[in-house]
Chains A and B, each alone.
Chain A
Amino acid sequence: MTITPNQTPSALNFECETGNYHTFCPISCVAWLYQKIEDSFFLVIGTKTCGYFLQNAMGVMIFAEPRYAMAELEEGDISAKLSDYEELKRLCLQIKRDRNPSVIVWIGTCTTEIIKMDLEGLAPKLEAEIGIPIVTARANGLDYAFTQGEDTVLAAMAHKCPKEAPKAEAEKEERNAISKLMNFGKKKEEVKQTEAEYKDHTPLVLFGSLPDPVVTNLTLELKKQGIKVAGWLPSKRFTELPVIEEGYYTCGVNPFLSRTATTLMRRRKTKLIGAPFPIGPDGTRAWIEKICSVLNIEPQGLEEREAQIWENLEDYIKLIRGKSVFFMGDNLLEVSLARFLIRCGMTCPEIGIPYMDKRYQKAELELLEKTCNEMGVALPNIVEKPDNYNQLQRIKELQPDLVITGMAHANPLEARGINTKWSVEFTFAQIHGFTNARDILELATRPMRRNNNLKELGWEKLVKEEAQV
């Protein structure tokens, strides 16, 4: 099902503030993408500022011989005394020699935007000259926030996914045949699932970068419904990018992938399944149900499965039921997380979010609204491009039980007696699917559990006078 434009849920209240808020620079996506795509090399073309951010944000990862580097621009590059092409060629050849990657991803930054370095134009030429594919993504702080960086990279990668040529198909069949043959003995003893157990449906490609265990988990979840996942964008290796043909179905697993979705629809002519995101058991069930309904499959056993998961979460839910949560907003996961936490019995006065694509998130917003109605709680205010200063005033007034915020505000809020959870952890933790619902609550309840331990000590407010919040 494709998204119908200009139809937005009406009852939710949307606001837009000044955009003076704290978030990570979108180039941070290299931190998880270079680990996800094992044969890639990420070259961030920017300044010392970008490099300093990356090395501090990525902490110890820096020391593990990462497959990323800065192409640090110097004064000669800015004033165009040096040729961009020659400089990039020199660095890319060095990378090719030292690391031999299957793809080099160029990350454009604010500086390359301002000096109008034509990365998209240079890439094909250089690609032909050095023989390594080059993907260009403009993940800069002028246009995007934090996780949207991944969106720009995946949108660029979508162009590189093979269109299944007939020759490739034969080859693929052959490979499959061989692998079938080799697996034959094992398949038998392993009892379960053969190709026959998949229902007959148009190929489905999922998009969004998730850790491999979560990929396996979600793939298996769909397999139970007889749905075969034809491929993931991105896959473990660049050389294994999925085939995307016109007419394929695609579905996103994360709320910040609107450019990728658009690219897949418009440029690759696929049909987008607009579903809520598989975050929390409610989201996962809704996600699977939506995919099933589009593929004309009757979902099996989902209701019981969801109920079972909720039952197992009860010990955590006890801790947050009836409490309030405030999202300051920095990673675009906010709506899905709020919807899940409201289903867990929390109230939510405000969902701050850097950018709200009401079309791409339509199904998620509808589920949020439905959840609020069913749980009998007020609909949250959704504040796009929030103003952190104003938000701190509102937090001071509302005294929420939990504030989900960036690291810049976490310690100062804790010192003022307000429970906080760093939002960044939700980006790196495994939060998708039925199995990982517990991990979300593990994170969300941690400040409560910790502070329960400290309750008796009377050490809540640890700043002398209420300095201006």
Chain B
Amino acid sequence: MKLAYWMYAGPAHIGTLRVASSFKNVHAIMHAPLGDDYFNVMRSMLERERNFTPVTASVVDRKVLARGSQEKVIDNITRKDQEERPDLIVLTPTCTSSILQEDLQNFVDRAQMDAQGDVLLADVNHYRVNELQAGDRTLKQIVEFYLQKAVKKNELPEGKTEKPSVNIIGISTLGFHNQHDCTELKRLMADLGIEVNEVIPEGASVHNLKNLTRAWFNLVPYQELGVMTAQYLETEFNMPYVDITPMGVVETARCIRKIQQILNAQGSEVNYEDYINNQTLYVSQAAWFSRSIDCQNLTGKKAVVFGDTTHAIAMTKILAREMGIHVVLAGTYCKYDAEYFREQVSEYCDEILISEDNGAIADAIAKIEPAAIFGTQMERHVGKRLNIPCGVIAAPIHIQDFPIGYKPFLGYEGTNQIADLVYNSFTLGMEDHLLEIFGGHDTKEVITKGISAESDLNWNKEAKAELNKVPGFVRGKVKRNTEKFARERDISEITLEVMYAAKEAVGA
């Protein structure tokens, strides 16, 4: 047992659901007790999704515990198959089904006999993998299933597209700024004269998966999702892939050069150097920003970075290499990817922290006292408590991290967004600091008495105590309304009764 207050990566089934519900017309059925369909709430609230989340539960209740699921799972699969005619139903095990050890594969096989669509059992073990690993596996599993099916049926399209083309692998629902990143990557590909063959899983149809092999190469922007799929496509279909995250000016250039190399190896004759040069110097503002005097002020400032592998690595490199900021500590909660992480950041920071314990990172921040933090929502709250500004760079995230406006982290527009994020974090911190030194903006005493200032009314002890229970942000309003009520009725002492009477009268 582990005492845990907070976790960075969710349970395995969340990863499977994220991948399944990213596809078009794919339905996931969770084998889970009542209340485990919390994924639907997250998707509907965080992504402000207009459509019903295609996830239902085959509820495990007391009866299932006693007798086994029996026909229940099969019935639920065939029912969903008839109701919504999905192309694919993914039966998703949870922690509960992991210990019940029912033969879910058998249910899937039997349901498949009646179902029009395909039925798959997600191959994930709750106790062995987390959300991110499970997502990666599920994506590979679905791709493999449809490619093998195509091979068997001899439906795999021959050869490659005429012009250079790419599959973008790993864009998913509830991913950090994924939608914006996807748009930016498509734009980048268009600039490079590369056609986008397929984007998976977000918005993709499983029928199109057989076309994946027509692309010249695969681009995997995030370490967490898609690498397994890309490796599978490389071994089975000889497709090269690029897994350099185009985040930050230097890494974007590196990613583009790698693409150039891959395309030229396949007989294309492209040279992207001019493009890189032009974007870096004149289009993206990030390179100029790092030269400007604004950024000069940031030189040597201390920062702490924490997040998933992709974003923590990229951010560390940007801060250290492109802005001259002193990254004291870089860390990730992706323990399973620790080696890769160390290898990538070791030359850009003093210390490395690999931990899933939010207390450990909070303590480290408190000790280091950086001028800014770049982390998850958890680090943002640590920052709040310690009065250190924080830019959010990775999941877990809240609704404010699903902005409506265009905010990619990848590509050249991404570099602009990151420059803003970094600069705003630091200046806010500096401003705060200066205010403290000079004692705030307002140096004069307040001379006019506002409505909320001293009153002639007497609050008795209980009423005062009650008033103090009212949340701070409305307390003033409640106080004013109650006093107004009392004055109108010539009541000189405010008691609990008066408070409630006032509330009833004005709806305070």
Contact = CB atoms under 8 A, between A and B. Distances in A.
Given A411-B44, A462-B50, A140 B7 contact: no
B500 interface: yes
B53 interface: yes
A56 interface: yes
A407 interface: yes
B486 interface: no
A345 B68 CA distance: 47
Contacts of B2: 70-72, 74
A91 interface: yes
Contacts of A435: 500, 503-504
B3 A114 contact: no
Contacts of A23: 34-35
Contact of A71 (B3, B6, B37, B381): B3
A409 interface: yes
B11 A47 contact: yes
Contacts, number: 195
B132 to A, nearest CB: 13
Interface string B96-135: 1011100000000000000000000000001110100000
Nearest to A94: B3
Contacts of A468: 83-84
Interface string B51-75: 1110011011110010000000000
A173 interface: no
Contacts of B32: 49, 141
A411 B53 CA distance: 10
B363 interface: no
Interface in A89-110: 90-91, 94-95, 110
A216 B466 contact: yes
Nearest to A75: B127
A407 B65 contact: no
Interface residues of B, number: 67
B99 A88 contact: no
A66 B398 CA distance: 18
B469 interface: yes
A48 B11 contact: yes
Nearest to A57: B38
B60 A110 contact: yes
Interface in B494-508: 495-497, 500, 503-505, 507
A141 B33 contact: yes
Which of B35, B94, B505 neighbours the largest number of chain A CB atoms within 10 Å of its CB?
B35
Contacts of A45: 1
Which of B51, B128, B381, B398 neighbours the largest number of chain A CB atoms within 10 Å of its CB?
B51
A75 B378 CA distance: 26
B73 to A, nearest CB: 12
A53 interface: yes
B208 interface: no
A186 interface: yes
Contact of B52 (A19, A309, A434, A469): A469
A234 interface: no
B34 A66 contact: no
A272 to B, nearest CB: 26
Contacts of A57: 38, 41
A55 B7 CA distance: 8
A312 interface: yes
Interface in B5-21: 5-7, 10-11, 13-14
Q: Which 8 A-B pairs have the closest CB atoms?
A: A25-B35, A141-B33, A408-B40, A415-B50, A63-B381, A48-B11, A47-B95, A141-B35
5 contacts: A24-B35, A25-B38, A48-B126, A216-B466, A312-B504
Given A143-B61, A144-B34, A411-B50, 5 more contacts: A49-B95, A70-B5, A91-B3, A216-B496, A312-B505
